[in-house]
Amino acid sequence: MRSPLSKGLWVLSLVLVAGLLVASLYGLYYALTTPAEKEVSVPVGTYEQRGQFDYTVHLRPSSLFDVTELGPGQVYFDRLVDDVRMTFSYRLTSDQPLGPQGKEFGYQISVTLGAGGLWEKSLALIPPTVASDDFTVSFDLPLRQFTALIDTIGEETGARTGSPQLTVVAWVEPDVQTAHGPIVEPFQQSLVFTIEGGTISVGEELAKSQPGTITETKVEQVLGLERLRNASGGGVAATLLLLAGLGWLYGRGRVRVPAPEKGLQRAQKKYKELLVRVQALPPVREGQAVVQVDSLADLFALAEEIYRPVIYSPDGAGYTYCVIDGLGSVRYERSEYSDKEETEDLQDGGDDVD
């Protein structure tokens, strides 16, 4: 009995079912190995860190200025500047109560000397310090001393530049507790002094604001895992049943074929033009030699070589094949008998005879 599915449709069905099985197994594995709960960060408040630089430039006596100091936003001549007095203020605000368990702010202020990106050297202006609240600190920027150091480094290295820079950097590390979590995000602010063409220019951004978010960690259930586990388990069971059904259909399409019949089917497919079926083979004539060949393949090769047909007829439980030479003096025979049965998938038309 032939299978109700053609071989092509059977293979396509097998591929689709196998793909569904792989997808179901992966879904089941994911559902079983994924934790049912996960931690998520939920915003519960906001805060803002503010920094503010301020400075006063102290001047040497000169014919140009009647004053001895200048505030921000002025023109500063390098030769007339003696020193710079600076302040840095820091403040932290939030929509949540701050510091029920204490507040702490670690900070330091440094200056980085540089020359056109060729080199840099950092020096401390205020060493690491701890404050317990918002703070304001004052410090000197010995501009004349630093420009002399820049000139010395330029002479030592031979790398001179016309625009040396001094970058003042304030670094704050808050450690403030709130009812919903800590505030620990660092804050950094810089102010650049550039010496060029006999004047000193200072960065215009004296204030900086840095917002942040206070988050709280919560545990949430991972949605859909139970549905995925059930669906994947059902998918695995269903695909296994489908595979079993496909195997049963494939088994129905396999017919038990006797070996002689199988050999004839192969011969008909490959040597159709040579085969001639007769009711009975002609009797052996007197003086005619009978040669038994080893295989059908040898018999068909001989027939092709001497340009003679292969005649055959049923012979009990098999077939007898015969080739008679052109003179009729030699008769080549091959009988195919077998009590055994071999299986062949008839859907593909059988195999060729080699």
pLDDT digits (tens, 9 = 90+) for 7-28: 777 788 878 888 888 888 888 8
Give yes or no for residue 346 having a pLDDT over 60. no
pLDDT digits (tens, 9 = 90+) for 279-304: 888 888 888 898 899 888 888 888 88
pLDDT digits (tens, 9 = 90+) for 34-72: 887 777 888 888 999 999 999 999 999 999 999 999 999
Taking the alpha carbons at both ends of the chain, their separation in whole angstroms is 27
Give yes or no for residue 307 having a pLDDT over 70. yes
Structure tokens at 130: 């701890």
DSSP states along 201-238: EE-S--EEEEEEEEEEEEEEE-TTHHHHHHHHHHHHHH
pLDDT digits (tens, 9 = 90+) for 315-324: 777 888 999 8
Give the pLDDT confidence score for residue 128 in this predicted structure: 96
> Residue with structure tokens 């016309």?
162
Average pLDDT (242-256) is 72
Give the pLDDT confidence score for residue 342 in this predicted structure: 38
**Can you give the residue ranges of every domain in the chain?**
7-36+222-252, 41-221, 258-348
Residue 164: half-sphere exposure toward Cβ, Cα within 13 Å: 23
pLDDT band at 306 (very low <50, low <70, confident <90, very high): confident
Average pLDDT (193-210) is 92
